[in-house]
């Protein structure tokens, strides 16, 4: 925990968050890590490749995905969090909108809650995160995973998303969460068309005005498929290019499926951004 607090103060490098989906239906890696052993093995591989954070998800948030009941999500997530925490001191994040999952995950070693609803879906989430002393990712999303890509519209996506995230930061602070434990995510792929996504990435530095770290999740997403006309399995190079641009424009954390490539991208792009020798 102290490592993340120190990094938030110093911002001396870009952090890499490795994606670990425990679901059968996630858009890229669904079904690969549905046993505890397979999940922990993959997490440890990502740590060896340079992941600072492992983001564990028990409910798919791909476009059109339905919800998973609480018992199922707990059964998927908690054993993996517990087993990974016993084997590694890597920072563990849990991607959930349910306060009961967050509470159990924190109790078993998670230090970050990644809430795609930004505290809107579960009224108890803010209190659970505050009491647990965890860090919180607040993400922007239009609608829900089931509806978000049906007809997303904005007049000015960057200004509207920034206003939303500012209000959500205030809500988190009102719930008792220290502002220094907050991270924001503009939510690429969550209620955005290609034009919206490109505008957000070009103007990503605008979100620096909010004064908290910026997380960006671009890995193998559909906007890359639109640009390249390629399936998810062939979008690695596009991901690398997009992450490099995002870092150049201010991203502090990148969320990736391919950690080795993400780590190398982050290290080079950060040095270029900061004019380091």
Domains in the chain (CATH in brackets) are 16-263 (3.20.20.20)
Torsion of CA 62, 112, 256, 163, to 10 degrees: 70
Catalytic residue among 168, 221, 235, 263: 221
At a CB cut-off of 8 Å and minimum separation 6, what does 217 contact? 185, 187, 188, 189, 254, 255
Catalytic-residue membership of 62 = no
Please write the tens of the pLDDT for every residue from 123-148: 999 999 999 999 999 999 987 777 66
Neighbours of 71 (CB within 10 A): 9
Catalytic-residue membership of 111 = no
Query: How far from the centroid of its chain's Cα atoms is residue 195's Cα?
Result: 21
Whole-model pTM? Answer: 0.93
Please write the tens of the pLDDT for every residue from 252-272: 999 999 999 999 999 999 999
Nearest to 269 by CA among 244, 246, 252: 244
Q: Report which listed range, 62-71, 81-90, 188-197, is most confident.
A: 81-90
Q: Given this model, what pLDDT does residue 56 score?
A: 97
Please write the tens of the pLDDT for every residue from 103-125: 999 999 999 999 999 999 999 99
Q: Given this model, what pLDDT does residue 151 score?
A: 79
Q: How far is it, in rounded angstroms, from Cα 47 to Cα 45?
A: 5
Catalytic residue among 255, 260, 264, 271: 255
Using pLDDT thresholds of 50, 70 and 90, give the confidence band for residue 64.
low
Please write the tens of the pLDDT for every residue from 199-252: 999 999 999 999 999 999 999 999 999 999 999 999 999 999 999 999 999 999
The SS3 call for residue 183 is: strand
The SS3 call for residue 212 is: coil
Mean pLDDT of 66-79: 91
Q: Given this model, what pLDDT does residue 178 score?
A: 97
Using pLDDT thresholds of 50, 70 and 90, give the confidence band for residue 27.
low
Nearest to 25 by CA among 66, 72, 56, 76: 66
Average pLDDT, the chain: 93
């Amino acid at each position: 925990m102290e490592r993340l607090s120190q990094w938030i103060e110093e911002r001396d490098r870009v952090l890499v968050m490795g994606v670990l989906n425990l679901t059968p239906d996630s858009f890229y890696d669904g079904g690969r890590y549905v046993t505890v052993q397979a999940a922990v093995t993959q997490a440890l591989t990502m740590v060896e490749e340079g992941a600072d954070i492992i983001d564990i998800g028990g409910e798919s948030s791909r476009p059109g995905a339905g919800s998973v009941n609480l018992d199922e999500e707990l059964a998927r997530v908690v054993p993996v969090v517990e087993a990974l925490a016993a084997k590694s001191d890597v920072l563990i994040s849990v991607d959930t909108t349910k306060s009961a999952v967050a509470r159990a995950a924190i109790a078993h070693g998670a230090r970050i809650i990644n809430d795609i609803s930004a505290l809107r879906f579960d009224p108890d989430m803010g209190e659970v995160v505050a009491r647990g002393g965890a860090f919180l990712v607040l993400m922007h999303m239009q609608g829900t995973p089931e509806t978000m890509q049906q007809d997303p519209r904005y007049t000015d996506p960057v200004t509207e998303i920034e206003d939303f995230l500012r209000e959500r930061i205030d809500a988190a602070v009102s719930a008792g969460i220290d502002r220094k434990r907050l991270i924001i995510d503009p939510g690429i792929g969550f209620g955005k068309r290609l034009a919206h996504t490109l505008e957000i990435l070009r103007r990503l530095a605008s979100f620096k005005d909010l004064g908290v770290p910026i997380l960006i999740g671009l890995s193998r997403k559909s906007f890359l498929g639109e640009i390249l006309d390629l399936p998810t399995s062939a979008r690695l190079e596009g991901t690398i290019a997009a992450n490099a641009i995002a870092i150049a424009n201010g991203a502090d954390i990148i969320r990736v499926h391919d950690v080795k490539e993400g780590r190398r991208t982050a290290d080079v792009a950060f040095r270029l951004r900061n004019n380091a020798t």
